[in-house]
Amino acid sequence: MLRDLLIAIIKILAWFWSQPTLKIRISEDNPYEEVGGLKFEVENVGDKATSLTPTVRAKFFTIKRRRDSVFFDIRELERNLPPFTPKLLSASARKVQPQRDNAWYRVYIFLPAKGRACRVRIRNASLESIGFFCFFGRAALVSSNRTRWRENINVNRRI
């Protein structure tokens, strides 16, 4: 009985790790360009070939600490991703959003046809990617009122 359970767990883990996985690096996000404002490099690091779905979603915080999102449409028709071959793609936003220029803590969600979704977490306009725990810890501080409270304490200490 224990042996059958262990074999079942190993099969589930093997299935999970055999799914195609994407590695994405965002090189440019220009909110003022209508056509091709988002440029990125995508690589399939799994063993099986896959392709990207034609839409990309980005969620972010505005300067006024409000959550907002935008959808991008991938411009290239050839979205097939063979294993371990990087490909440069571009996407266009469905609507122009000037507030996205100064947005912090962005999450870009890329969906492959088969496999797990790839989330790219960006801290600021320099498009540097950060890890999961660092991203959510800092984003929680920015979105809450505690940041304003700490800023007021620091101002009072300087006086």
- Domain ranges across the chain: 20-153
| 72 within 8 A of 63, measured Cβ to Cβ | no
State percent of the chain over pLDDT 70: 89
Query: What are the E-state strand segments in the chain?
Result: 22-29, 38-44, 50-61, 67-74, 80-81, 87-93, 104-112, 118-122
Band of residue 145 on the pLDDT scale cut at 50, 70, 90: low
* Domain covering 20-153, topology: Immunoglobulin-like (2.60.40)
Band of residue 19 on the pLDDT scale cut at 50, 70, 90: confident
Minimum mean pLDDT range among 39-43, 62-66, 141-145: 141-145
Model pTM above 0.85: no
For 149, which DSSP code? H
